[in-house]
Structure 1
Amino acid sequence: MSLPASEPRPSAVDRASAVLAPKVLLHDHLDGGLRPATVLDLARENGYDELPAGDVDGLARWFRDSADSGSLVRYLETFTHTVAVMQTAPALRRVARECAEDLAADGVVYAEVRFAPEQHLTTGLSLDEVVEAVLRGFDEGSAAAQATGRPILVRCLVTAMRHAARSREIAELAVRFRDRGVVGFDIAGAEAGHPPSRHLDAFEYMRANNAPFTIHAGEAFGLPSIHEAISFCGTDRLGHGVRVMDDIELPSGTGPSGRDVRGAQLGRVANYVRDKRIPLEMCPSSNVQTGAVASIAEHPFDVLARLRFRVTVNTDNRLMSDTTMSKEFGVLADQFGYGWADFERFTVNAMKSAFIHFDERLRFIDEIIKPGYAVLIG
């Protein structure tokens, strides 16, 4: 399906055609993907007067420029405004509906969208009411997309904030809604000083209930974060995971974007991640913005792909990064020369790693993804 590590790639993907490719998205934050116009509308409706700009273009620019800080902590500060306008059931429902519509319009056929219910309680909603509003919005948006000929299945991950103390409660919420649209659990927020092992009771609860989870790890903090996530917490996937490169020694003279990775030496953590096929939820544009990597050219995506890690392509936060899955495909194609066969592999990787049942994953791969890429590959 893909060329050996030392051979050149096929012709680059045409960005205009990328929308046509069936895509699978595993790492997308609901509160990081609002339409700028919606932020303005909801701010007016809810009396929120602290937005940094009063027009659509200015607000979109502010989010993008503020996120381009090179710091995960500063990047996360932009969420103050999006979370502030997502405090009522109608607002949550609208944001979720538009999320499903926007992803479908970009050719996403399956998405797992995550958010932290504990951050949406200031007007008196319960955790259950927050999740119910979001799930209803996803259903409405998916139905609208289906009507336009762009079918999509959207499922939800509920996230606990790693600096807070509600992770067990949120894990219980995930299990409570597991048959109603929630397919997993996550922890997110600033990594430094908040190791995943502090939330062991939540992860043990998920495992005891045969429920999957992912952990943000190896983005702003190094290899210890990944080691804890996989060895102590037993994560099923790694959110970002770019710092697994800290445990890989490339041949002399080969940089992170080097084309020939023969002779690369993997340490114990890196080998474990690859051997166990632990998926890496990589978000190229976001990883540059947060300083996880210095540039797309230095992003380890290509090295990890050539070393046959289970890499997947994701958006992280579409508003802050001014991105879509099609744009992320284009960024990677421009930098690394990927062709459609490569993106088919990355998409199949993502579908194999989804938190829905095996038969559903297989149906997407056999009936939607492979036929869709067969047309593009020609």
Structure 2
Amino acid sequence: MPSFPYQEIKPPQRILLGPGPSNVHPRVQQAMMAPVLGHMDPYFYTVMEDIMNLLRYVFRTKNELTFPISATGSAGMEAGLCNFLEPGDVAVIADNGFFAERMINIASRYGAEVIRLDAEWGRIIEPEAIEAALKSRKKVKLLALVHAETSTGVLQPLSEAAKLARQYDALLLVDAVTSLGGHELAIDDWGIDICYSGSQKCISCPPGLSPITVNQKAMDTLPNRSHAVPSYYLDLSLLSKYWIKENGTRAYHHTAPASMFYALHEALALIAEEGLETRIQRHLKHGAALHAGLEAMGLALHAQAGHRLSTLTTVCIPEDVDDARIRQRLLSDYNIEIGGGLGALKGKAWRIGLMGYSSTEQNILLFLSALERLLAEEGYKTETSAGITAAVQSLRK
């Protein structure tokens, strides 16, 4: 036996209302207990086929290459950039939040010339700015936007951006980590070329997978690269040979995480059973109720009005209220996790997630009640039950 101490794993049951992960349905947890199979097992291939079909349903696409990368959403971002950019390529990338900045960082590492679309954190990128950037160079290879900016709570419109990308012959890459399965997202109808997400947010699967979909137009650019894709693990041309049969066979690429695939399969099945449109409407309804409750308490929402996420709300912290103490008390006294601000919003905002299995009326009312009590202890006064009353009224509409 080792001389150092270690614990038995018994994590507490939290109410996860932060920027992710969200709570996991018991059926998803149960699925992870299924027997582990080899990643080349015939039955495992049937699970993979189901996952691809279910992801096509959620992405609203017929793209053949639609599958989960065996890594978190950051790997989806990396895959979308390293496959379609190489040294000297021009990329137009939004710069209006923490994860938009990460895109810029990664694209620059791969030698791309990045044209930044600057906007204040909390505001969308306007179509006029997108078109001006696309027109500024003879050839732009890639336009990249964050659909749901997790750091600010902003929902970026995409349909007009997709039209502009087609007009100027640029590929459109979209980050949908906080929107897939919770907000309207129509890959084929809108004309999005590459889109990735994460398993742990609106899909309500444990973290560790990054669903991605890529159309044929984007895939057809890969043989024309001047350099090999710099990541073996994320090379889509190699991954496609594992996920898509060629002459009735698949090629080994890496050892797939079987238990995570079972979990994703069950999480996607739950979405199909609820109905994608019904699920989206649930998120919209609950997001509106949370917004109404927070504003009734006199709290300001950071994101631009008319472009606020339902799945993730960024609320400004009142003056003289201790950010960390409120979050710690929510966790210790009410078992509720919320997120603090990222980057420019660190210490200035809270991030409240209502995603997937965590998006319930009960969670909204419990959170608003707890927040009201804790804010009162900090000296921030509001009308008793104002937040709950406003939220209930919104839910009854």
Shared fold (TM-score, shorter chain, > 0.5):
no
- Structure with the higher fraction of residues in helix conformation: 1
- Tell me the TM-score normalised to structure 2 length: 0.28
- Tell me the TM-score normalised to structure 1 length: 0.29
Computing the radius of gyration from Cα coordinates, the structure with the larger value is 2
